[in-house]
A and B are shown apart, each in its own frame.
Chain A
Amino acid sequence: EAQVTQNPRYLITVTGKKLTVTCSQNMNHEYMSWYRQDPGLGLRQIYYSMNVEVTDKGDVPEGYKVSRKEKRNFPLILESPSPNQTSLYFCASSYNTGELFFGEGSRLTVL
Chain B
Amino acid sequence: AQSVTQLDSQVPVFEEAPVELRCNYSSSVSVYLFWYVQYPNQGLQLLLKYLSGSTLVESINGFEAEFNKSQTSFHLRKPSVHISDTAEYFCAVSQFQGAQKLVFGQGTRLTINP
By a beta-carbon cutoff of 8 Å, the part of chain A in contact with chain B is 4, 31, 33, 35, 40-45, 48, 50, 56, 58-59, 90, 92, 94, 96-100, 102-105
Contact = CB atoms under 8 A, between A and B. Distances in A.
B84 interface: no
Contact of B34 (A44, A58, A59, A98): A98
Interface stretch (B11-19, B54-62, B102-110): B102-110
Nearest to B90: A42
4 nearest CB pairs, A to B: A102-B43, A96-B98, A94-B99, A43-B104
Q: Is the interface of A mostly helix, strand, loop or mixed?
A: strand
Nearest to A38: B106
Interface string B20-45: 00000000000010101000011111
Contacts of A90: 43-44
B113 interface: no
Given A42-B90, A42-B105, A43-B104, A97 B42 contact: no
Nearest to A58: B101
A106 to B, nearest CB: 10
Contact of B44 (A40, A48, A100): A100
A50 B100 contact: yes
Interface in B80-109: 90, 94, 96-107
29 contacts: A4-B43, A31-B98, A41-B106, A42-B4, A42-B90, A43-B104, A44-B104, A48-B99, A50-B100, A92-B99, A94-B99, A96-B98, A96-B100, A97-B98, A98-B34, A98-B51, A98-B94, A98-B96, A98-B102, A99-B46, A99-B49, A99-B99, A100-B36, A100-B102, A102-B43, A102-B44, A102-B45, A104-B41, A104-B42
